[in-house]
Amino acid sequence: MAADFGPLVSADWLAAHLDEVQVVDVRWYLDGRSGWDAYRAGHIPGAVWLDVDTDLSAPASPAAGRHPLPTEAAFAAALARMGIAEGRQVVAYDDAGGSVAARLWWMLRAIGEPAAVLDGGLAAWTDHAGELSTDVPTPLLTERAPRPWPSDRFLTADELAASSALVFDARSAERYAHGDPAIDPRPGHVPGARSAPWTGNLDEHGRFLAPDVLRARFAGAEDGAIAYCGSGVTACHDLLAMTVAGHTELALYPGSWSQWGADESRPAETGLAP
């Protein structure tokens, strides 16, 4: 099974291997709805739930951004609490095209752990594979040693500013060009960044486009690329798409625009790229 695992798995594949992997529900909503309530109302059988705000992020601040990386120890503790042992294959899903699940996938992949995203998310499961469960599992606590975040996979603002790699902004084109005053600290984007909204990685059914299409979308990323978004979550969707396309030298700027834009000393560009 390991040879054909990730970065995406289909609902049919997951149904056939459900007892061999740990499924993780990471539903989260920018509008304030509760991912935990959504999970309790119905989830893939056996799935546990991790919270983007508290399990996959450190506390938010203007200096660090809305979803800064958690400490290595905090992330290891969250996985251990859910019974996810080292080497356990993880399939993450959400109900938003993988835009949230990709955050967990990237964090696990970066520290060398096997992980995949359910292509098509919860809808793919209910449409093609099976019913949902309201049973909340009681995980068996396991032990996990913290693993350091690789410095070449997670960049600081200064490292981003000094990098010569291609930079992709996963926010909507409107936010890239003008910002959203309800979410973004100021208008614009990191100078030189290309607009690559995460929604453009998906087809009309909410599944990832073919690898050759994604290679064309992220032309130039074969030599290395960095992704960011509003807070370091949906940027991971672009990283997943580039991985599907076959690119490997990739990095996340976790602080993203919520950190960069909050620092008035850092430059910003507005408008759409030519």
- What domains sit in the chain, N to C, each tagged with a CATH number? 2-128 (3.40.250.10), 157-260 (3.40.250.10)
Which amino acids are annotated catalytic?
A: 229
Model confidence pLDDT, tens digit, residues 198-213: 999 999 999 999 999 9
Which parts of the chain have pLDDT scores under 50?
1-3
Q: What is the pLDDT of residue 128?
A: 78
Q: Are 206 and 126 in contact (CB under 8 A)?
A: no
Q: What is the pLDDT of residue 4?
A: 64
Q: What is the pLDDT of residue 5?
A: 82
Q: What is the pLDDT of residue 274?
A: 56
Q: What is the pLDDT of residue 129?
A: 65
Q: What is the pTM of this model?
A: 0.96
